[in-house]
Amino acid sequence: MSFYPPTLVQPSPPERARAASLRFSGNTEPFIVMPLVLLFCIYAGYRNADFWSGLNWQLLLQPLAEAGLVSIGMMFVIATGGIDLSAGSIVGVAAVMMGIGTHHGWPVWAMEFAALATGAACGAFNGILIGWLRLSPILATLGTMILFSGLGLALSSGASFAGFPDGLLWWNDATLLGIPVEFLVFVVVIALAVVLLHATLWGRYVIAIGSNHEAARYSGYPVRLSLFAVYSFQGLLCGGAAVLLTARLASARADMGQGLMLMAIAAVVLGGAPIAGGSASVLGTVTGVSAFYIVQNGLLLLGVPAFVQYALTSALLLVAVGLGNLLRGRGEEER
């Protein structure tokens, strides 16, 4: 007879196989989205040769990387059954901290550290509210969203900062083998996310909490600490996104992260993660966020007006999720 400590119960092989097949059948969205986006790419490349140019992809990959960082963090949050409405505000506060750093002539590393630390601290605050005080994530982060954006505005007096040193702007300018460094940061974070999700106990806890919060608690999983870590990690990634965003725009403002929060949630959902939690797919999330930016960029090159791009990318989310629901059949309804 074998003994497993409660946190390390191994599923038997058939169980594991079933779980894997369930996960595959449950996550249809990336397999809807990817061909759609590929078809779209072919069409866009046919209509406008610039679409496949190296410069276009360099310019495309940079904002993709910033949104990607927030999306990866959001993926962990949504996997626990939570949501982080404050992500955009955290990016804003972190960016403002860097602006204040420039104002006081801090060295570049100190500014970067300040942004990351601010992000992590804001995330940790969310983590305390949600992990220890057991507030519902949507409400807690709704409150902190207003709080953090107010903090960012108050610290900057609503002004925008400029005059960042070249050392910081390096993040935007530098390329390695033609690939923007910003995007390489995203690749590193993707790898980190895969390891965290699939090769650490924390990754298991995250999924377990999202599948069944109560069961995870009764199983003796460190629910509070795991949630705290999830939101802190999300805050840290928001701080990272703030560094990249500030470097790219060469300015910092309290409201500069505004669009990122909804984009991140949409990307995770487009990637096939159920909003109720219990499942996470790094591949899906990366597909989701890439789809948004590639389609937006393609529409731009096709000469579609900016506002229509915005409407169409939102429609993409609705179509993908709705289509996924239809394909998955009506079986769920009978539960």
Q: Could you list the residues that contact another protein (CB under 8 A)? A: 83, 85, 129, 133-136, 138-140, 142-151, 153-154, 157-158, 217-218, 220, 222-224, 262, 265-266, 269, 274-276, 305, 307-315, 317-318, 321-322, 325-326, 332-333, 335
Closest distance to another protein from the beta carbon of 153 (Å): 4
CA gap 112, 222 in Å, rounded = 31
Cβ burial of 196 (10 Å; 0-12, 13-18, 19+) is middle
Q: How far is the CB of 319 from another protein (least distance, A)?
A: 9
Which residue shows structure tokens 């731009």? 300
Cβ nearer to another protein, comparing 172 with 232: 232
**CB of residue 242 to another protein, shortest distance in Å:** 19
Which residue, 122 or 168, is less far from another protein as judged by CB?
122
Supply 32's token pair: 């809807």
Cβ proximity to another protein: between 119 and 271 the closer is: 271
Tell me the CA distances in angstroms from 189 to 65, 165, 185, 282, one per residue in order. Answer: 10, 25, 6, 10
Other C-beta atoms lying within 10 Å of the C-beta of residue 35 = 10
Q: Which is nearer to another protein, 51 or 148 (CB)?
A: 148
Smaller CB distance to another protein: residue 283 or 323? Answer: 323
CA distance 175 to 32: 32
Least separation in angstroms between residue 26's CB and another protein is 14
Cβ(239)–Cβ(119) below 8 Å: yes
CB of 6 to another protein, least distance (A): 11
**Any residues with CB less than 8 A from the CB of 177 and at least 6 apart, and which?**
none
Min separation Cβ 174 and another protein, Å: 33
CB of 49 or CB of 146, closer to another protein: 146
Q: Say which amino acid occupies 109.
A: W
**Alpha carbons 37 and 113: distance in angstroms, whole number:** 37
